Structure 1
Amino acid sequence: MGNTLYLIAVVLIILWLIGFLGFPDAVGGLIHILLVIAVIAILLRLIRGA
């Protein structure tokens, strides 16, 4: 479960970078929501120590 959560977080960060650099006006709000989810997933992984 921990590896899957970490993988999802990394994928979301990569998608955020692509969206932020490639399409800043079109999907700005959605991209920032994805970034927040990714950061929360990483923090949860760090807190759990897995």
Structure 2
Amino acid sequence: MNNFNSLRKNLNHCIKILNNSRSLFVENPNTDFIRNRKLDFSTVINNIICLE
């Protein structure tokens, strides 16, 4: 169980880093994921890799 928690913590940390550089991963950096929405960038990434 401890390995799972450390892996989850590490993945969340990596997602936060990706969130800071999300303009590299979107098609239109000036408009994509700028507004406050229910599904922000980190939530979408978490759902894609099925963490939440």
TM-score of the two chains, using structure 1 as the length reference: 0.50
TM-score after normalising by structure 2:
0.48
Higher helix fraction: Structure 1 or Structure 2? 1
Report 1 or 2 for greater relative contact order, CA contacts < 8 Å, sequence distance ≥ 6.
1
